[in-house]
Amino acid sequence: VHMDGTFIYDIVMEASFEGVKEELAKMDLGERKVCIVTDTNVAPLYLNEFEQIISGCFHKTEHFIFPAGEEHKNLNTVRDLYETLIVKQFDRHDYLLALGGGVVGDLCGYAAATYLRGISFIQVPTTLLSQVDSSIGGKTGVDFDAYKNMVGAFHMPKLVYTNIATLKTLSEEQFSSGMGEVIKHGLIRDVSYYRWLSDHSSEIQNRNLDILSEMVTVSNRIKRDVVEKDPTEQGERALLNLGHTLGHAIEKLSDFSLLHGHCVGLGCIAAMAISVKRGFINEDQIPVLLEVMKRYHMPVTVTGLSPVEIVKTTKSDKKMDSGAIRFVLLEQIGKAYVDKTVTEEEMTEGLARILA
Ligand code: NAD
Ligand code: ZN
């Protein structure tokens, strides 16, 4: 994305890695080096195959593998990566390539944004969450101590290449978490997509590649559309935060034992409940949402948390805007808006729907 909002990179989706060769060939990289950044879960599954496919596209191919998990998305890992790049004499014309989920993409993107004041990078997302969400939009970053995504930069990839077939090896739990963001896309932008997700749950759960490619395409379009209108997050992009104000708080209070997309789903239920109270949405939409989420094996309740604690935690969330929380509500299914007047009482009422 240019800061004026136009996308300058391609998002390509296929059911294998093969096609990446053609995309890279267009980029004239014969003189460039590339370092593939990946984690210890993805490397044994895909690194060899991927390296073989792209060998010949670059002058030289290196790789950097770090231990899987959010706890390694930090500056220590970035430091190790810088060291590798320096030892291998990467200069400002060379490339980084993220092969993995959102953790790999965020960390690799941040290293690319900062090494030598910024080098080019490519995203090859391999989780549902990264394919529909984190690989698009140019946000990169790492955690700092207990603070999530505290250090970061906007840095746009030169190419996003999604191999939908990688979703076949994703755990049931990670897949289900990604569905939280997918359902959110339907809720904020596209009621017919929301209904389609409800109607195609068995194919999607069976990871039917044709249906998955349709789903990832629509979700990409929605995310891209929202981001394009607002690349630096002044307004419209905030709609993507549906379910995130309360969701983040729940995620934090669970010490990240609950997965992000699951917390987003819980937050969406609460946001819908508040929208019902406001008179925007009919009460009977809530059981519909619960049913859709259950089909994707998402939790619809959470235990052991108090509403007071959750509301308190939302206040330390960085989505605060001069004191007022920019809460995302639903005007109707498929149409979200930002509301700065949501009260603590309303949040507590919304939370009553999900606290068991
Ligand atoms: P992740 O990268 O940790 O991946 C989840 C797990 O799946 C990991 O253990 C990983 O090794 C494994 N994995 C990855 N691909 C696999 C595959 N194809 N088969 C089997 N296992 C595979 O987590 P995630 O959910 O992809 O991403 C979460 C991260 O994304 C968080 O750090 C979050 O902050 C970030 N994020 C960033 C943005 C953004 O705009 N930049 C948006 C949303 C989330
Ligand atoms: Zn999210």
Going by alpha carbons, the residue nearest to atom 1 of ligand 1 is: 101
pLDDT tens per residue across span 151-180: 999 999 999 999 999 999 999 999 999 999
Longest CA–CA separation in the chain, Å:
61
Which tens digit of pLDDT belongs to each residue from 194-239? 999 999 999 999 999 999 999 999 999 999 999 888 766 767 889 9
pLDDT at 1: 45
Q: Which residues, at least 6 apart from 147, have a Cβ–Cβ distance to it below 8 Å?
A: none
Confidence band, pLDDT 50/70/90 cuts, at residue 325: confident
CA of 69 to the centre of ligand 1 (A): 8
pLDDT value at position 343? 95
Q: From the alpha carbon of 104, which atom of ligand 1 is closest?
A: 2
pLDDT of residue 317: 62
ipTM value greater than 0.85: yes
Ligand number with the minimum distance to the CA of 188: 2
Tens-place pLDDT, residues 253-301: 999 999 999 999 999 999 999 999 999 999 999 999 999 999 999 999 9
Residue 4 has pLDDT above 80, yes or no: no
Find the 178 Cα to ligand 1 centroid distance in Å: 9
pLDDT level of residue 8 (50, 70, 90 thresholds): low
CB 46 within 8 A of CB 19: no
CB environment 326-348: b (16+ within 10 A), e (fewer): ebbbbeebbebbbbeebeeebbb
**CA 258 to centroid of ligand 2, rounded, Å:** 13
Q: How many CB atoms lie within 10 A of CB 255?
A: 8
The kind and range of the H/E element at 37 are strand 33-39
Is the CB of 102 within 6 Å of ligand 1?
yes
Which ligand 1 atom minimizes the distance to the CA of 259? 25
| Most ligand 1 atoms within 8 A of CB, residue of 1, 41, 135, 232 to mutate | 41
Using the predicted structure, report yes or no on whether residue 318 has a pLDDT greater than 70.
no
Whether residue 321 is predicted with pLDDT greater than 50 in this model: the reply is yes
Q: Specify the amino acid at residue 324.
A: A
Q: For the chain, what is the mean pLDDT?
A: 94
pLDDT of res. 7: 60
Residue-wise pLDDT for 113-156, tens only, equals 999 999 999 999 999 999 999 999 999 999 999 888 999 999 99
**Nearest protein CA to atom 37 of ligand 1, as residue:** 134
pLDDT at 229: 83
Structure-token match 């259950």, residue found: 294
Tell me whether residue 155 is annotated as binding.
Answer: no
153 lines ligand 1 (CB under 6 A): no
336 beta partners: 330
**Of 103, 150, 240, which is best to mutate to test ligand 1, by the most ligand atoms within 8 angstroms of its C-beta?**
103
Give percent of the chain above pLDDT 90.
Answer: 88
What letter does residue 72 receive in the DSSP assignment? G
pLDDT per residue as tens digits for the range 13-69 = 999 999 999 999 999 999 999 999 999 999 999 999 999 999 999 999 999 999 999
Ligand 1 within 6 A of CB of 106: yes
Q: What is the pLDDT of residues 70-118, one digit of tens each?
A: 999 999 999 999 999 999 999 999 999 999 999 999 999 999 999 999 9
Q: Does ligand 1 come within 6 angstroms of the Cβ of 126?
A: yes
Q: Is 151 annotated as a binding residue?
A: no
